[in-house]
Structure 1
């Protein structure tokens, strides 16, 4: 009696895949904690720094935002040229659709919320972690705005 041949597979075992997924999640968590620390230490999450920026009293936030834009340009260019996932699949960065309405309306809404709250949505969780409990109101309205956008998306200009 002969043994049945075992199928060969290039897919990793489920235990190995779970370990890889957990490692990826831990990496994202550590990068997020590091990024949050950078936001707090650079004062990007400071209401006072944001007010200084909107009043054109200090260059600090403009420098931070400019460096973020430059970093985004460089990383997007590198992703388009050399990007791939951990599994080796190519990363495709789609070009933006032409038009100005979506950018003016979206940027205006974002800027209005930023000005009213005194904080960009990025550091909301960082500020909550720092004990600024007033950010719960900002988080609630950010979630409400996201829900409303999802509900009204088909009726909005894109």
Structure 2
């Protein structure tokens, strides 16, 4: 049953991303050229809403739809890791024209060349998993 709920939420999220043009290569290009506020508004709204929801969950010990306790762990803070990871993520986003969420939205919308990007991202994630322990903190 959980899988069906997650699938429905994912499909709804994909429709929202597609209809808001957050998965549009042209909107992403405009963002990286500082030509439009559209994507910054979407990202800023998501970050703001995320902060409010996380704080709400922590303060009121909210449980999931299924009654499970939600645990939000603190992350290890490291400027170097986040800078390098952010640069790699940003370069991939700029080159592919999509970040991980919209990649699957584009696939669902019928843009088949995105399969190459999805395969490359899965390969990159796999390689990170192999070398994670060897990377500097």
Q: Which bracket does the TM-score occupy, shorter chain normalised?
A: over 0.9
Alignment of 1:45-64 (within 5 A): 45-64=23-42
Of the candidates 96, 108, 112, which is equivalent to residue 75 of structure 2?
A: 96
Give TM-score scaled by structure 2 length.
0.93
Is residue 2:117 matched to residue 1:138? Answer: yes
Alignment of 1:100-119 (within 5 A): 100-119=79-98
| Alpha-carbon separation, structure 1, partners of 2:125 and 2:78 | 22
**How much has 1:84 moved relative to structure 2?**
2.1
| Structure 2 equivalent of residue 15 of structure 1 | none
Q: How many residues align?
A: 136
Alignment of 1:3-152 (within 5 A): 22=1, 24-81=2-59, 82-86=61-65, 88-152=67-131
Which structure has greater helix proportion?
Answer: 2
Give ranges in structure 2 of 5+ residues lacking alignment: none
Q: Which moved more, 1:89-98 or 1:79-88?
A: 79-88
RCO higher in structure (CA 8 A, sep ≥6): 2
* Pair 1:72–1:46, CA change in 2 (3 A): same
Select the structure of larger CA radius of gyration.
1
* Pair 1:96–1:57, CA change in 2 (3 A): same
Provide runs of 4+ in structure 1 moved above 3 Å.
85-89
For residues 89-121 of structure 1, what are the alpha-carbon distances to aligned partners after superposition, in whole Å with 9 as ceiling and x for unaligned?
432211122220111011111001001101111
* Pair 1:87–1:121, CA change in 2 (3 A): closer
For residues 120-157 of structure 1, what are the alpha-carbon distances to aligned partners after superposition, in whole Å with 9 as ceiling and x for unaligned?
11111111111100100100100010110011011112
Give TM-score scaled by structure 1 length.
0.81
Give SS of 2:101's match: coil
Give ranges in structure 1 of 5+ residues lacking alignment: 1-21
